[in-house]
Amino acid sequence: MKGQDLKVLRFWNNEVLTNIAGILEVITEHCLSHPPLPLPSREW
């Protein structure tokens, strides 16, 4: 996945069940600090 510039965020099940707000904050922070890459151009 690194070759495709993808990153996996992993969380424990119990953390998702007991701290969903914290999980969403981590995901939001990651998304804001890593803007999407431009799409590759297509040739028809």
To the nearest 10°, report the CA torsion of 42, 35, 8, 20: -130
Q: Does residue 43 fall inside a structural domain?
A: no
Please give the pLDDT value at position 2. 60
Q: Does residue 28 fall inside a structural domain?
A: yes
Cβ 16 vs Cβ 23: under 8 Å: yes
The count of domains in the chain is 1
Residues making up the chain, counted from first to last: 44
In sequence order, the 6+-apart residues with CB closer than 8 A to the CB of 5 are: 37
- The average confidence (pLDDT) of the chain is 88
Q: Does residue 42 fall inside a structural domain?
A: no
- pLDDT tens readout for residues 4-22: 778 899 999 999 999 999 9
Cβ count within 10 A of residue 26: 14
Cβ count within 10 A of residue 19: 14
Domain range holding 23? 2-33
Q: Does residue 20 fall inside a structural domain?
A: yes
Q: Which pLDDT band, with edges at 50, 70 and 90, does 1 fall under? A: low
Please give the pLDDT value at position 28. 96
In this predicted model, which residue has the larger pLDDT, 3 or 42?
42
Q: Does residue 44 fall inside a structural domain?
A: no
